[in-house]
Structure 1
C-alpha cells in the first residue's frame, strides 16, 4: 500500500480516487445488451449467459427440486450459522417498522401517511469470484418483513449451470418466490423489461461489479427503481495509537479480498501505526486463498498520515466511504460528526465482517462516494409512503379560500373552480 504523509487538501480528490472505470467505458456494452434483451427476451439471456458465464443452459428457472437438493448439501453447522444471522437481521429490521403518521392540519382537515410494500422486487446476488449468500439474507429478510408479494432472485450460474448451494438454501429459508440462473447485465435487463420466463419487477436491489452498477442505473431510465448505485467494495479505517495494527490490517484485507477493483484506505494520526499496519498486511496477505485479488486491491489502496483528527474527519467526509471503521481513543468525535458513510463500525472489537454477516445491520451499502446522498438498504427501501387526506365540510370552509387564492395566482382556474363549486353549495 502506498504511504502518503500530510497531503495537501487540493490533492485529496486525486489521492482518494476510486480504481473504477468511467461510465463511458461501460455504457455502450450495457446499452447493447439491454436493447437485445428487450427485443429477444429469453433467447438473449441464453446467448449472454453462454458468452459471459461459459455455460449453455436449457432452463433459467431453478426448480424446487433443485433447491431442495442444494439445501440438503449445505452442512448443518453452516445452516445454523445462517439461521443465527437471519435472526439478528430480522430483529434489527423489524425494529425499523413505523406506525401510521396522522395529524389534523386545520380543523376538519385530516392528513396521514401509511407505508405499503413494493409488490415486486428483484434481488441481484453476485456469484462470480464469491457466491454471496449473505446478501440473500440482507435483501430477502427485509423484503419479507415489508410484505413484498413477489421476490425474484437472479444469480449467475457456474460452469455446471448451477447456483451455489448456500445461495439456494438461504433463498428458500428467506421466502424468495423465484430463483433464476442469470447474472450480470443481462439479469438486470431481464428484471427491467421482463422476459418469457423472468418477471419484470418494480425495484432492483443488490451489489455487483461496475457493469451491474451501470446496468442498474440504466434500468431507472425505463421506470424501474433501484436501491442505490452499489459497485466494488471499499473500506476506510481511521485509527490512532490505541488501535491494534493486526486488527486494522485484517479489516483492510477483509475488503481487499472482494476483488481487484476494491479499495481500502487507512487514515491515521500515528506514523508508527501506519508502519505497523503495512508490515501486518505483508504478513497476513500471504496466507489468503484469494491472494491475487487482494494484492491487486492493495495496489489501489493507501495509508495516509494526517496531523490531527479534524483533518482526518474532513478527509473521510470527502471520501464518503461505504464502510467506515473507527479505532481511536476519542471515538465519539467521529461517531458524532461523520456526515458521509454507509455503515460505521466502532472500536477494536467491531470488525467490518460483523456487519457483512451477522450483527444485524445491512451490508448493501452505497459505494463510490454515493454515501453523500444515499442510505444503505433498510426496511424502508422495500416500502413506499402513501399520503391520505380527508376533508369535512368544516374543513373545506376553513381552507377553501386559501386554495382559491393560490390557484388563481398561478393561473389555474379549474383548480380554483373545484373549490369554489363546493364552497357555493355550503354557503
Structure 2
C-alpha cells in the first residue's frame, strides 16, 4: 500500500492531502495541534485570528477540489460580493466602484479551514509532533513522530513525505542534519504589524472597507469585512514599524487616524473579542529547486518554501496553486520530486515578485524604477476608471499576468489618468 505523509493540517497541508488522494492508497496528515471539530483558533495558525484574503484564483481551485464549497460557506454566513463593491481608499482617493465580474468571498480563516478539513478523506494524526525524517540512504522513507499523549517516539513509514508545516517548519535543520546543503532564504521585511478585533454586526448588509498601505506615503491601513456568524472582522495595519496596539483606547485612536470612517462605524458596535496582535510578516523564499542533492521521497510546499506578507492576501491562493500543480504531477521518483520543486518555484515567482517588490519599497535607500512609477500612476487610475479597477484586481487575484498591467491598452488608459492638484 503506497503511503503519503503530509506534515501540517493548515490550508497548504489540507489541499496537498486532497491533491494526493488519487495518487496514494493512504494519505496521513500529521498535525501538532489537536484539531477541533468546530471552527476555532489554534496556536499552529498564529495569523488565524486576522483578516485573510481568499483571492479569486484560490477560490476557483478550492471549488474544483471541493465542488459546492463556496455555496456551503455562503449558506453558513460567509459574505459574497463583487470585488468592485468594496470601498477602498488609495493614497489618491477612493477607488472607483462598479461591477467587475470578480466574486469576492469573505470568510474567517478557522471557518474556511474547518470546512475544507471535513471534505478531505485523509487520515489525521493530530496532537502529534514531528521530530524529524527517517532516511534510507539519500531517500526520505518516513517521519519520526511523538504523539503528545504518550511522548513515545514512533515512525510512520511513507513513500512520499510532504512538508507543509508553515513558517515554523524545521525543514532546513533536518536537511542540514542529513548532510544536505540548503540555501539561505532571501527575505524582505516591510516591518508590518496587525491588530485585529471581532465585533457584533447587527445587520446583514455587505461590508467591505479598506485603506491601502502604500510606500512611502501611507504607513497605516485597515480591512473591515463581514464574515460568518454576523461578525465584523476588523484588522488595523501599520507598516515600517508603525504598528497598532492591543490597548483598546490606542486601538481606537489608530482607527480614528485613518480616513475611511472606520472609528465612527466601530463606535456603535459591540466588541466580541480582545485585540490580537501579529507582526511576523516578512516575505522570504528558499530556492530548494537549486539543491542538487535534494532527497528522494520529499516535497516541500507552502510557507516552508515561500512566505508572503499576509498584507497582500496571497498565502492561501499560493497554497492552492501548489496543490493544483501537485494534483497534475505524476512522477514521484527522485528526479520527479526535484522536477516538482522546480515547477513550484516557477509557479510562485509571480506572487513572490509582487509581495517582495511592494515590501522592498519601504527600504530607506529604495529608488523606484519604471515599474514603480507606473504603479503610482495605476493608483491614480484606480480612482477614476472602474475598468482599470477590474484589470488591476484581475492581476492581484492571480487571474491575469502582471504584464497585463503594462500592455498597450492599459498604458493608453494610464495616460488618461490625471492627478488632482
Higher strand fraction: Structure 1 or Structure 2? 2
TM over 0.5: no
Q: TM-score, normalised by structure 1?
A: 0.21
Higher helix fraction: Structure 1 or Structure 2? 1
Q: TM-score, normalised by structure 2?
A: 0.21
